[in-house]
Amino acid sequence: MAEDDGIRSENIRAAGAICGAWLLEQTRILEVADRIVELFREGMLPLGRGHAGDLLDRYYQRAGERLSQAERRSLYVRVLGAGGSGDVAANRDFADLWLRLVSSVSDYARQRQVGGLLQRVQVLIAGAHVRTAARDLARNLSLHGYGMAAAAARLQDQLDETRQLIGNDEILAAFGSHDMWAVIDRVNASYLGGARNTERYRTQAEAGANIVDWVSKNHDRLRWPRPCRLVLGPGDSGLIEACERWLAAEQK
């Protein structure tokens, strides 16, 4: 069987990781971490020289090892077309292709719930739309995710370090918060110009990861469509759920 336009799962996964990072950045998670470090260094947090203090010091000292805001923005423009910059080739098709996939999967799920011969035909048509949309998105992510694996890994490490910092028990207590997201909401509201819709972006980051995972694992199924064969089966309920969650969060 011939290769399908050079689609590579590793490229899709790299692009997907960058997409998830961009969504989490909409919560200002990295800005929140920087602000917490500033507050600590200014003596404005009730923290001593314990574990949290060591984490904050290490985070501050390693600032030069992390991707800068300008470097991250360049990645987001190049891979996702998010934002825009005159000196970076933007992926201008991603947003439309992404929405086309999640919408076609949602439409397929609705058509499948209705019985009758006519509806079975509609399900086949909707399934064909899913196949085309998923294949087009796979091609796009594979193209724009090329050579991005190392950058995606660095970005993921940066976010993991930030989660560890903000979610530290002593830092949670310092902000009177029960989890990392409550700290983010509080710092946003108090120091960074107002609250963000963290629930929306968290939900879309999680759902988006599941969608990209499905595309990267199943792009072989999108090749050489067979007549009257559905692209989605009982084992793909996770994809349908993820698309529905994405669309529901978009309305919040």
Note the pLDDT tens digit of each residue in 11-51. 999 999 999 999 999 999 999 999 999 999 999 998 877 88
Task: Return phi, psi of residue 28, to 5°.
Answer: 70, 30
Encode pLDDT of 171-219 as tens digits.
Answer: 999 999 999 999 999 999 999 999 899 999 999 999 999 999 999 988 7
Q: Give the pTM.
A: 0.89
- Please report, for the chain, the start and end positions of each structural domain, with discontinuous segments joined by +: 9-250
Q: What is the mean pLDDT of the chain?
A: 88
Number of C-beta neighbours around residue 132 at 10 A: 16
The pLDDT score that the predictor gives to residue 220 is: 77
Name the residue with tokens 């409550």.
182
The pLDDT score that the predictor gives to residue 236 is: 87
Encode pLDDT of 92-112 as tens digits.
Answer: 999 999 999 999 999 988 887
Q: Environment class of residue 50 by beta-carbon count within 10 Å: exposed (0-12), middle (13-18) or buried (19+)? A: exposed
Report the interhelical angle of 29-41 vs 9-25 (nearest 10°).
50
Contacts of 54 (CB under 8 A, 6+ apart): none
Task: Return phi, psi of residue 49, to 5°.
Answer: -95, 45
Q: Which of 145, 174, 141 is nearest to 56 (CA)?
A: 174
Alpha carbon distance 222, 52 (integer Å): 48
pLDDT-derived band at 126 (thresholds 50, 70, 90) equals confident
The residue ranking higher by pLDDT, 110 or 231, is 110
